[in-house]
Amino acid sequence: MGEESRKLDVILFPFLAHGHMIPMLDIARLFVSRGAKATIITTTLNAPTVLKSIQNSQKLGAPIDLEIFPFSTRQVGLPEGVESFEQAIGLDMFGQFMAATDMLRSPLEQLLESRRPDCLVADMFLPWATDAAAKFDIPRLVFHGTSCFSLCAIEVLRLYPLNVPLSDDEVFFLPHLPGDIKLTRLQIPVEYRENFEGQFKRFMNRIGESEVKSYGVIVNSFYELEPAYADYYRNDLGRRAWHIGPVSLCNRNREEKAQRGIEAAVDEHDCVKWLDSKEPNSVIYICFGSMAIFSSAQLHEIAMALESSGQQFIWVVKGRGDIRENDQEWLPEGFEERMEGKGLIIRGWAPQVMILDHQAIAAFVTHCGWNSILEGISTGVSMVTWPLGAEQFFNEILVTEILKIGIPVGAKEWGKVGSVPLTVKQEAIEKAVRQIMAGEEAEEMRNRANRLKEMALRTVEEGGSSYSDLSSLIEELCSKSKGD
Ligand code: UDP
């Protein structure tokens, strides 16, 4: 722990969505573990999510400070109590939520003015943070929370828009990107399709511009995972980037792995006991992140597929309100009785990293949210990829075509975040689940996944590339603040 790093004062401002808060909390823990002082900003109703992680860090003698800002719902027409992106998306109130988020700029500026930290790490969805920090001559680092591959893919689509009309399933190559990356029009976010104009596209442009003006970018990935894209991002797109992940690996013991985000809907001891009763590499884990709510029809197809695949599973099912109330709409009759001992349904929040880390888990059916993928890579599981929206179709390509540790379920069309209609049928799901669990190809993918896990573990240890990248960032920020 260097003398200079002890003096570094970092403020971290995550976007109010669990997929963004969770990794940012891990980043705060990384900073404090290296002797810096870290403060996390959140709002009143998001504080419980943040507190657990802060307490865990405190126990290790690495305290993180908490700064709570009020969230103005009424002024922008949001119902009271809606303080997270997941809730706002469920109500189709993205615009109002972003308007309320923009109002956090003023308390941020007050905090920056009084505290004068050495650095502000702010989420991509807070594009005004660059100017807010610049007012006080404070460097702002951007945190996107996705892969370097996706960052590059999105930036080339922004810089070189598709001008020629394409039919929906016509294949095109992502311009300039190494590796001849093929996609169809339906797989890319609507705002990057030809001649698309709209509020979200303008917002994405603001994000891009604020990134260019910022001090640099913190990437939750590691260099060895995607070197061609890490180089492209730095050298061709000209970004100053520090690859410091997988940040979830800062959670070392079982308690820390189990207690990330929302309180789990299952007792962690029961869950571990269930997993302990299984052979190594014999269970598939199915979870689609923090935001996706599948239609009853799609859930029903998954249930049928799991049963007919004959595989053991842990399946995380989320709904609005109490999902159990709608059981009869999606659960085949007698399903849980028939699956007793063979499959476990978690209704609500799962202790994901703890589950993935268990030796019984062989594979992961994932929506390709980047945190989930990186958590899967860090625990050496192969994957069935089922992208839904956001940048997830890009992440799917990284997993299936570049890293070759997964197979696609066959999702074809990008959709808006939130509700998921029926798009993938039982047969396709069953086929992918069988294929990833058994056979030569499955074995090869698992071996590759295990090699990546070893690389991930090494990269965050002293001497590893992510460890060193964080060291150089800390050193650079320290010398900047000393005016060197
Ligand atoms: N997560 C979890 N339990 C759940 C669902 C999600 O612990 O039941 C965590 C998961 O480990 C990951 C984050 O929530 O860290 C989800 O982020 P991701 O980027 O995968 O997807 P998003 O939720 O942003 O779509």
User: How does pLDDT run across 402-423, given as a tens digit for each residue?
Assistant: 999 999 999 999 998 888 999 9
Please answer whether residues 473 and 240 qualify as being in contact, where contact means their C-beta atoms are separated by less than 8 angstroms. no
Residues 437 and 399 in one domain: yes
Q: Which runs of E-coded beta strand occur in 275-424?
A: 283-287, 293-294, 312-317, 343-347, 361-366, 382-385, 406-408, 419-420
Q: Which runs of E-coded beta strand occur in 312-409?
A: 312-317, 343-347, 361-366, 382-385, 406-408
Instruction: Judge if the beta carbon of residue 352 lies within 6 A of ligand 1.
Output: yes
* Range 64-84 average pLDDT: 94
Distance 346 CA to ligand 1 centre (A): 14
Instruction: State yes or no: pLDDT of 141 exceeds 60.
Output: yes
Residue 255 lies in a domain: no
Distance CA 427, CA 2 (A): 56
- Minimal-distance CA residue to ligand 1 atom 2: 352
Instruction: Judge if the beta carbon of residue 150 lies within 6 A of ligand 1.
Output: no
Residues 303 and 197 in one domain: no
- 4, 3, 27, 1: which is closest to 14 by C-alpha? 27
Q: How many helices (H) does the chain have, and how many strands (E)? A: 21, 17
Residues 196 and 272 in one domain: no
Q: Which phi and psi (to 5°) does residue 164 adopt?
A: -85, 135
Return the residue matching tokens 């005004």: 128
- Minimal-distance CA residue to ligand 1 atom 13: 19
Task: Give catalytic residue positions.
Answer: 20, 123
Residues 475 and 453 in one domain: no
Residues 182 and 312 in one domain: no
Sign of torsion over alpha carbons 179, 184, 189, 190: positive
pLDDT-wise least confident of 193-197, 240-244, 311-315, 337-341 = 193-197
For position 35, what pLDDT does the model report? 92
Distance 99 CA to ligand 1 centre (A): 24
Q: What angle in degrees, to the nearest 10, is found between the helix axes of 18-33 and 47-59?
A: 20
Instruction: Judge if the beta carbon of residue 417 lies within 6 A of ligand 1.
Output: no
Residue 121 lies in a domain: yes
Instruction: Judge if the beta carbon of residue 22 lies within 6 A of ligand 1.
Output: yes
Average pLDDT, the chain: 93
Residues 109 and 121 in one domain: yes
Burial class (CB in 10 A: 0-12, 13-18, 19+), 231: middle
Residue 256 lies in a domain: no
pLDDT band (50, 70, 90) for residue 1: very low
Distance 372 CA to ligand 1 centre (A): 6
For position 7, what pLDDT does the model report? 80
Residue 252 lies in a domain: no
Please answer whether residues 147 and 221 qualify as being in contact, where contact means their C-beta atoms are separated by less than 8 angstroms. yes
* Range 141-155 average pLDDT: 96
Instruction: Judge if the beta carbon of residue 371 lies within 6 A of ligand 1.
Output: yes
Residue 250 lies in a domain: no
For position 326, what pLDDT does the model report? 86
Query: Token pair for residue 484?
Result: 């060197």
pLDDT band (50, 70, 90) for residue 101: very high
For position 414, what pLDDT does the model report? 94
Distance CA 288, CA 313 (A): 14
- Minimal-distance CA residue to ligand 1 atom 18: 369
Instruction: State yes or no: pLDDT of 4 exceeds 50.
Output: no
pLDDT band (50, 70, 90) for residue 401: very high
Please list the residues that pair with 12 across neighbouring strands: 40, 121
Distance CA 159, CA 383 (A): 31
Residues 103 and 178 in one domain: yes
For position 2, what pLDDT does the model report? 46
Instruction: Give pTM, 2 decimals.
Output: 0.96
ipTM of the complex: 1.00
pLDDT band (50, 70, 90) for residue 484: low
Residue 254 lies in a domain: no
Instruction: State yes or no: pLDDT of 316 exceeds 70.
Output: yes
Residues 64 and 203 in one domain: yes
Residue 189 lies in a domain: yes
According to DSSP, the β-strands at 171-173 and 182-184 are antiparallel
Distances in whole angstroms, Cα of residue 333 to Cα of each of 296, 315, 329, 343: 14, 17, 10, 15
Give residue 438's domain range: 262-457
| Conformational region of residue 28, where left means phi above 0, alpha means psi within -120 to 50, and beta covers everything else | alpha
Query: Token pair for residue 78?
Result: 């949001």
Residues 431 and 475 in one domain: no
Residues 215 and 266 in one domain: no
Residue 26 lies in a domain: yes
Distance CA 377, CA 80 (A): 39
Counting residues of the chain whose pLDDT is more than 70, the rounded percentage is 98
| Tens-digit pLDDT profile for residues 213-228 | 999 999 999 999 999 9
Residues 236 and 287 in one domain: no
pLDDT band (50, 70, 90) for residue 205: confident
Number of domains composing the chain: 2
CATH classification of the domain holding 65:
3.40.50.2000
Residues 187 and 309 in one domain: no
pLDDT band (50, 70, 90) for residue 87: very high
* Range 253-263 average pLDDT: 89
Distance CA 137, CA 109 (A): 12
